[in-house]
Structure 1
Amino acid sequence: MNRLTDHLVIISFDCLAALDFPILKELPHFQTILTNGAYVENVESIYPSVTYPCHATIVTGNYPKRHGVINNTLLQPGILSPDWNWYRNSIKGTTLYDEAKKANMTTAALLWPVTAKAKIDYNMPEIFANRSWQNQILISLMNGTPRFQLELNKRYGHIRHGLNQPELDDFVLESTVHTIKTKKPNLLMVHFTDLDSQRHYHGFSCKEAIAAIHRHNERLGRIIDALKESGLYEKSTVVVLGDHSALDENKALHINVLLHKQRLITTNAKGKLINWKAYSKSCDGSAYIYLKDTHDTTTFNEVKLLVDSLLQDPDSGIERALTGEQAAEKGADGTCAFMLEAQRGYYFLEDFEGEYIKAITQEDVTADKKYTLACHGYSPEKENYGTTFMAAGKGIKPITLPRIRLIDEGPTFARLLGVNLGNTDGRVIEEILTL
């Protein structure tokens, strides 16, 4: 299969939405891509529409039930800060970067989700120290390319302020520019989270989110300049994409509080979870309910009665419930007993003590970053909830399309690089390619 480009640069601006287009089209560097390339007005994300499943979908062309990354975090009931799906081995099957490497291309990834311990030539994976005894830099070094990361930290580590934004993205930007100039990778994947963070903590249309979009415009410009300065621009394809959108919310739902009351979750005298028969695992705007014993019909029936009662209550915050089989039909994890979808304005947390519904204020968010004022994870069928995609450069036609699906991006990237992801859920978007 012939290659359509020499260098593919995939820039993920986490939480960039279709609704952001009126701002993007006025900003000069986004304008460069939009004027000279392909633009998709609405990209349908996946279910659940959270970052790690989305990024696994982008590099595989498959739905979560197939690639195996069915949520951001692992099912670890009772653990306050569960581990994330950080590792490459969380993904079943091949990926875009695996196939590029097999074809003897140079690969690089900067804070791309689900790439810890991946076989990427220059890899700074997105992984963080979520235990008090862990060291952030050491965790990164152990799970990526050590010498590469040491060089980046030596040069640009002073920019970073822990995981805080916008400093983290500023560090990632300098690392990206340096990687382009010194490594000239055939495939570069970079993930920026500034916008997502601002929307979580301040709301979808907040001034902080708009400021982040303007910062992203400058970051995009710096990346384009780096390609030009390196003599790669004419041989490159630049892709700008979002993984999901976000919706404002100010009420948190705690399904585990109800399961606890029904003694399906057991705690000790200190309030620590010691056992569970059923557990609600949050995906922000949606939630899985799992049974510890999938053959326990008594517990299943108890949970079903609870779910039915919530659906009948207009004030429950629950919009819809799917069975495990129905969840799998939507591409989500079919091993759950149920999957719940929150109404607009609501999202799910995993607390098992306190009230079922908690109203969230800006003060709550400021005091405890587990709370948010906008989030994702909702069904991609929700209205005005699409994300975005644009691409320009080698192999790309100037065209506007009304819609694609997130699952279509991976096969399209593979086609640009002249590799194949095999039998995928998504298709090659041939309309945008100069085949």
Structure 2
Amino acid sequence: MNEGLNALVYCLSLSLFCITKLRRYYMESASRPKPDRYVLVISIDGMANYYLQDPNVRMPNLRELIRSGTCAEAMESVFPTATWAIHSSLVTGNYPRKHGVLGNWVVDRPNYRVGEHFGDRMWDKQDVLRGETWYDAAKRMGWTTASICWPVTRGADTIDYNIPEFYEQELFESHCTRSLWDELKAAGLPMELYGEWSKDHARGPMQDWLTTEIAKYIIDRHSPNLLQLHYLLPDSYQHDYGVRSKEVYWSLEYVDERIGEVLKALKQKGILDKTDVIVLSDHGFVNTTRTFYPNVLFKHKGWLAQNLKDEHDLKDSRVVAVSNGGSGYVYVLEDNAGAKELLMDEVRRALAESEGVGRLFEQEDFPSLGLPAAGEMDDHCPDFAFEAEPDCFVHFDYSGDEVNTSFTKFKGMHGFLPQREELKAVFVASGPSIRPGASLPEIRIVDVAPTIARLLGTELKDTDGSELDSLWKEEVRLWSF
């Protein structure tokens, strides 16, 4: 009885402590005057660094930002090069081992199901994303914040105007900032179609158009100090048509036109000359021609339940894999330590002998990949990770009989190791704080958050990345916290 009472008192005390800290946090941010400075961050999903050197890419607005500001030689992403993990690294300055979002898909061991970060379908931001983000820091500094179609932002209470990246209309309707959603509908924007347009690649241009129209509205009516946007079309078209296809060239030009409209809206509002603009991407792309189905392999071995109804029913399976595009995570769901060790040996051998597996990684390799070490994040951390061979897509599907096929659902793919040149991303910066022509060698994607924190007049503690201090004009470099 006493133990239960003590536990209850402890929980109540902890809750009161958290509420008090949260209240103080918002009181401090509310007491700060709204600054007359602005930051715009635009993420172009899937724009490989090699497109900047491609003469077929017509992006005059981006090239003008480079001319007036600076461009990194390249930007190394994180493993796996999958959108939800990468954008979590972008906003925190940390690798997945520290921020907790290990990929688009993981296995949620306690619930014996596949865990979907993709589409923010399962979890709110505070449930999965560890560490302070740049938008958390902006709010802490008294800035107003807005985010459109940005991954891992569902339920983010430090974003004043928030439309997370969803694919289901019901999630848009239930989890976007309600007052903003109602304003946008009243303004005549087709918000009831955001879900349809998000899921249908053929109507992807409409989704990116709607993202732009929302951004223009927010700039005109609310002028947030921090605005982050995520454009999807180049990623969608590379999956559908392959890299350097005519469709992809068109998509890059289309997104550049949308960027031009956002910059024009800032100018019309009279704040463009007060806005630091960061345009970046999350990963590059390679062409794929074949598919590896690890769960079909496990089914043949008798490790995956034959009567598996769906990916949310893994209780009778001993081994399962999830795909992150050009890589996979493998989970051995065996509770008995001795039996697990024997099964691990069999799984290791089966993967090493499988066509389609390029490199196999064990838990002792994980920290070098930015993944959790043994004993960390046990609920989601895999037992093995692997990178597929360069032209191979890893598919979760378990319904067929072939482990390897000479065709693929996608013509282009990412998810491979970020050190591959084809997977390198883009970083461009321009604005009143940016030194024109600053020399930026290849940077890391985890360097972006500490750099943006400088623009907010603060810093993020204990990040894996480092501030790009050569980016600044002299007066910005001399700012102290």
Normalized against structure 1, the TM-score is what? Answer: 0.89
Deviation at 1:144, TM superposition (A): 2.3
Amino acid paired to 2:382: C
Q: Is 1:55 the counterpart of 2:82 in the alignment?
A: no
Q: Map 1:241-256 to 2 at 5 A.
A: 241-256=280-295
1:11 maps to which of 20, 42, 53: 42
Partner of 2:390: 344
2:419 is paired with a residue whose SS is coil
Deviation at 1:41, TM superposition (A): 1.6
1:100 maps to which of 124, 138, 145: 138
> 2 CA distance for matches of 1:318 and 1:4?
52
Gap change, CA 1:162 and 1:299, over 3 Å in 2: same
Greater RCO structure (CA 8 Å; 6+ sep): 1
Gap change, CA 1:95 and 1:290, over 3 Å in 2: same
Gap change, CA 1:301 and 1:431, over 3 Å in 2: farther
Is the contact between residue 105 and residue 322 of structure 2 (CA under 8 Å) also seen in structure 1?
no
> 2 CA distance for matches of 1:35 and 1:421?
29
Residue deviations 1:256-287, cap 9 Å, x none? 11111222111229898661111111111111
> 1 CA distance for matches of 2:335 and 2:468?
39
> 1 CA distance for matches of 2:228 and 2:337?
44
Is the contact between residue 48 and residue 425 of structure 2 (CA under 8 Å) also seen in structure 1?
yes
Gap change, CA 1:116 and 1:43, over 3 Å in 2: same
Higher strand content, 1 or 2? 1
Is the contact between residue 360 and residue 373 of structure 1 (CA under 8 Å) also seen in structure 2?
no
> 1 CA distance for matches of 2:350 and 2:301?
14
Is the deviation greater in 260-269 or in 116-125?
A: 260-269
Residue deviations 1:199-246, cap 9 Å, x none? 011111111111000001101111111111000011110110000111
Gap change, CA 1:297 and 1:45, over 3 Å in 2: farther
Residue deviations 1:101-140, cap 9 Å, x none? 11111000001100011011000111232xxxxxx1x422
> 2 CA distance for matches of 1:395 and 1:175?
26
Deviation at 1:141, TM superposition (A): 3.3
Gap change, CA 1:123 and 1:91, over 3 Å in 2: same
Identical columns (%): 29
Residue deviations 1:168-216, cap 9 Å, x none? 1011011111111111111100001011000011111111111000001
Deviation at 1:4, TM superposition (A): 11
2:125 maps to which of 81, 88, 92: 88
Amino acid paired to 1:10: V
Gap change, CA 1:208 and 1:269, over 3 Å in 2: closer
Amino acid paired to 1:245: G
Is the contact between residue 258 and residue 356 of structure 1 (CA under 8 Å) also seen in structure 2?
yes
Amino acid paired to 1:250: T
Q: Is 1:358 the counterpart of 2:405 in the alignment?
A: yes
Gap change, CA 1:5 and 1:341, over 3 Å in 2: farther
> 1 CA distance for matches of 2:74 and 2:309?
49
Partner of 1:326: 365
Is the contact between residue 414 and residue 423 of structure 2 (CA under 8 Å) also seen in structure 1?
no
Q: Is 1:122 the counterpart of 2:157 in the alignment?
A: no
1:40 maps to which of 66, 72, 86: 72
Q: Is 1:213 the counterpart of 2:246 in the alignment?
A: no
Amino acid paired to 2:403: Y
Gap change, CA 1:263 and 1:375, over 3 Å in 2: same
Partner of 1:265: 304
Deviation at 1:306, TM superposition (A): 3.9
Aligned pairs, number? 415
Deviation at 1:83, TM superposition (A): 6.0
> 1 CA distance for matches of 2:197 and 2:353?
45
> 2 CA distance for matches of 1:115 and 1:103?
19
Partner of 2:197: 162
Gap change, CA 1:382 and 1:150, over 3 Å in 2: same
Partner of 1:412: 451
Partner of 1:368: none
Is the contact between residue 238 and residue 248 of structure 2 (CA under 8 Å) also seen in structure 1?
yes
Deviation at 1:305, TM superposition (A): 3.4
1:108 is paired with a residue whose SS is strand
> 2 CA distance for matches of 1:72 and 1:50?
6
Amino acid paired to 1:92: R
1:396 is paired with a residue whose SS is coil
Amino acid paired to 1:205: R
> 2 CA distance for matches of 1:187 and 1:88?
18
2:220 maps to which of 181, 186, 209: 181
Q: Structure 1: state its 5+ residue gaps.
A: 130-135, 362-370
Normalized against structure 2, the TM-score is what? Answer: 0.81
Is the contact between residue 4 and residue 416 of structure 1 (CA under 8 Å) also seen in structure 2?
no
Amino acid paired to 1:346: C
> 1 CA distance for matches of 2:210 and 2:370?
35
Is the contact between residue 37 and residue 275 of structure 2 (CA under 8 Å) also seen in structure 1?
yes
Give the RMSD, CA atoms, in angstroms: 2.4
Gap change, CA 1:289 and 1:22, over 3 Å in 2: same
Residue deviations 1:7-26, cap 9 Å, x none? 00000000111111024875
> 2 CA distance for matches of 1:8 and 1:193?
21
> 2 CA distance for matches of 1:68 and 1:81?
13
Gap change, CA 1:252 and 1:397, over 3 Å in 2: same
> 2 CA distance for matches of 1:85 and 1:28?
31
Is the contact between residue 106 and residue 186 of structure 1 (CA under 8 Å) also seen in structure 2?
yes
Residue deviations 1:339-377, cap 9 Å, x none? 01111110211122321012325xxxxxxxxx2111111
Amino acid paired to 1:382: R
2:288 is paired with a residue whose SS is strand
Q: Structure 2: state its 5+ residue gaps.
A: 1-33, 374-380
